[in-house]
Structures are given as C-alpha cells and as structure tokens.
Structure 1
Amino acid sequence: MSAEATAMVPLRTLANARAGDKGNRLNLALVCRAPAVYPVLAAQVTVERVAALFAARRPARVVRYDLPNLCAFNFVLDEVLDGGVNASLGLDGHGKSLSFLLLTLPVEVPSSLADGIREGAGDPLSP
C-alpha cells in the first residue's frame, strides 16, 4: 500500500497569525483556516521548528499552547524583542511583524488537502 502524495505549502495558506508583546516576550497566535488543518499543524508546527525559525533572535524559551476547540495554537517566545518596546532600538519593538515570519514556515500536507487550498479565498479548503 503506497502512502498518499504530499505537497509543501507555506503556513500562510493554512492559517492566520497575530503577534503581540509583553516586555521582552513575544506572543504568536496561530489560527487554522479550517478544522481539517488542525491535526496537520499540530504535528508539524512544533516548538522545535518555531525555535529554529526564530533562531536569529535567540529565544530563551519557546512554549506552545494547544487550543483544539478553537483550532488554534499560541506560541510564547521569551527574550526575542531586544528588551521590549521601551528598550529596543529596532523598528518593530512590539514584534507585530514577526507573525509574518511564522507564516513563512513550510508545511507538508496531503495532496488531497493541498488541492483544496486557494490562497486568498474566503474558505481555502472549501470543496
């Protein structure tokens, strides 16, 4: 029996994200565009992959909180905002643009799911 074919897609085709901050701590909410996507993202958007994606910012700790009833995840990254909005010389001390970095993460999905993805559509996974 052969395994189903898969395709690599950027996370932005499967989910939306929003960033927030509290001092030097970044909060990233990741919300699936459809419930069918949740188990795929739960398996692949791991603490380790998010930490690797943000390695240049040297997070002291990355924690993922699963919110299955909302088909969402919350990631908290410590010490990635150069001291926070009042201390950072960066243009984005709040880290608002960092949600876009998360959405670049490549995710492998079954071809049947990828075929239903239409980026920019109201429901990317509608039949």
Structure 2
Amino acid sequence: MAIVKLKDIAQTRSGDKGNMVNIGVFAPNPAIYQIFIEKLSAARVKEHFIGLVEGEVARYELPNILALNFVCKEALEGGGSASLRLDNLGKCFGANMMRLELEVDDSLLAELRK
C-alpha cells in the first residue's frame, strides 16, 4: 500500500454559489472509484478542510461517470462579496482537495502508470 495525493490519481472540478462550495472528484477507472467510495467520505473531506468549511459536507455518488460530488456548506465566510478571504472562490477548494492523501494498493498505481 502506498499513500498518494489525490492529484496523482484523480481530477477535480469545483465551483461556488453563495456560501457553498461544490467539488467533483473524478476517478480514472472503476477500481480507483471504488477506493474513493470506501475512503473518501464526507467526514474525511470536512476534516481536510478544517478551519475553512464550517458547515455540513454532503457526498453524492455518481457511478455512471466515476465521480463523487461534495457540497460544502458555510465554506466562504458568507459568500464571495461578503468574505474577507483573498482566495474565497470554489476553484481554490478544488486545488486544495488535490492535496488530500489516500492509501492505494501498489498494483492499482502500477496499472495507472502504464
């Protein structure tokens, strides 16, 4: 087993609306998607964004496109026009999500590198 950053095994797409951020995480294949289902929980994402996401994090599974969508409430200190944060847009959350680490079987990583 290896510990890898999400950036090494996934892609993200994110955005914001009001005081919420949504982050889509896309797996390259069904095996990696299964790891996401098992290890990438709403609680894990909330913990990753400790100090940034003050509200609930909801996870939605999209198996037809091998993706998970996370909706993070109370994430922008009131929203784009109300926040004093310099990097208050949802795009920054997608980039930050890519630093989250997961444990992945070595054989799956070898297959991705082919």
What is the TM-score with the length of structure 1 in the denominator? 0.83
Q: What CA distance in whole angstroms lies between the structure 2 residues aligned with 1:100 and 1:116?
A: 25
Task: Give the alignment partner of residue 109 of structure 1, picking from 91, 104, 107.
Answer: 104
Task: Give the alignment partner of residue 57 of structure 1, picking from 46, 52, 55.
Answer: 52
Kindly indicate whether the alpha-carbon contact (under 8 Å) linking 1:13 and 1:117 is maintained by their aligned counterparts in 2: no
**Cα drift, residue 55 of structure 1:** 1.0
Matched, 1:18 2:13: yes
Moved more, 43-52 or 83-92: 83-92
Task: Give the alignment partner of residue 99 of structure 1, picking from 69, 94, 99.
Answer: 94
* Identity among equivalent pairs (%): 39
Q: What CA distance in whole angstroms lies between the structure 2 residues aligned with 1:63 and 1:83?
A: 18
The Cα offsets for residues 35-92 of structure 1, whole Å up to 9 and x where unpaired, read as: 2211011111111110100111142100000001110010000001111111112222
- Structure 1 or 2, whichever has the larger Rg, is 1
Number of equivalenced pairs: 114
Provide the alpha-carbon RMSD of the alignment.
1.3
User: Mapping of 1:11-90 within 5 angstroms?
Assistant: 11-90=6-85
Paired residue type of 2:105: P
Unaligned 5+ residue runs, structure 2? Answer: none
Query: In structure 2, do the counterparts of structure 1 residues 58 and 72 end up closer, same or farther at CA, with 3 Å as the change threshold?
Result: closer
Aligned to 1:122: none
**Counterpart of 1:100 in 2: which secondary structure?**
helix
**Counterpart of 2:16 in 1: which secondary structure?**
strand
**Counterpart of 1:116 in 2: which secondary structure?**
helix
Q: Which runs of 4+ in 1 moved over 4 A?
A: none
